[in-house]
Structure 1
Amino acid sequence: MLVLTRKVNEAIQIGDDIEITILSVQGDQIKLGINAPKHVDIHRKEVYLSIQESNNEAASISTTLLEQLKNQKF
C-alpha cells in the first residue's frame, strides 16, 4: 500500500484520467473530490462489497432451478 500525505486543496493523480483532491479535513473526517471519466465506477467500499455480494448471489442460481425453467412450457 502506498501512503501519501496531502493537505487541503492538494491532489493525487492516478494514471491519466483520475484525480483525487482533498477538499476539507474536519476532525476524523476527510472530504475527497474525485474527478474521473464517466465510465469509471466509484463507490464507497461497503457499497462496492454489497454490489459484489449481490452479483455473486445472482450468478449462483441452482442448476435444478435452471432445469425446471428449461422444462416449463410458456
Structure 2
Amino acid sequence: MLILNRKKEESIQIGDDIEIKVVAVEGDQVKIGIEAPRSVDVYRKEIYIKIQEENQEASTASDELINLLKNFKKE
C-alpha cells in the first residue's frame, strides 16, 4: 500500500484520468473529491463489497436455476 500525506487542496493523480483531491479536513474526517471518467465506477468500499456479494448471490441463484431447468428437461 502506498501512503501519501496531502494537505487541504492538494491532490493525488492516478494515471492520466483520475485525480483525488483533499477538499476539507474536519476533525477526524477527511472530505475528498474524485475526478474520473464516467466510464470508471467509483464507490465507497463498503458499498463496493455489498455489490460484489449481491452479484455473487445472483450468479449462484442463476446457476441453481439453470441446473433445475436442465433436470426438468431430462424428466
TM bin, normalised by shorter chain, reads 0.7 to 0.9
Q: Residues 68 and 18 of structure 1: is their aligned pair in 2 closer, same or farther, counting only changes over 3 Å?
A: same
Q: 1:64 Cα shift?
A: 5.2
Structure 1 range deviating more: 62-71 or 20-29: 62-71
Residue 6 of structure 1: SS of its match in structure 2? Answer: coil
Q: TM-score, normalised by structure 1?
A: 0.86
Superposed structure 1 runs of 4+ greater than 4 Å apart: none
Q: Residues 56 and 33 of structure 1: is their aligned pair in 2 closer, same or farther, counting only changes over 3 Å?
A: same
Structure 1: give runs of 5+ residues left out of the alignment: none
Of Structure 1 and Structure 2, which has the larger fraction of its residues in helix?
Answer: 2
**Partner residue, 2:49:** 49
Taking only the aligned residue pairs, the percentage that are identical comes to: 56
Aligned length: 72
Q: Once superposed, what is the RMSD of the aligned Cα atoms?
A: 1.8
Q: 1:1-74 residue pairs with structure 2 within 5 A?
A: 1-61=1-61, 65-69=65-69, 71=72
Q: TM-score, normalised by structure 2?
A: 0.85
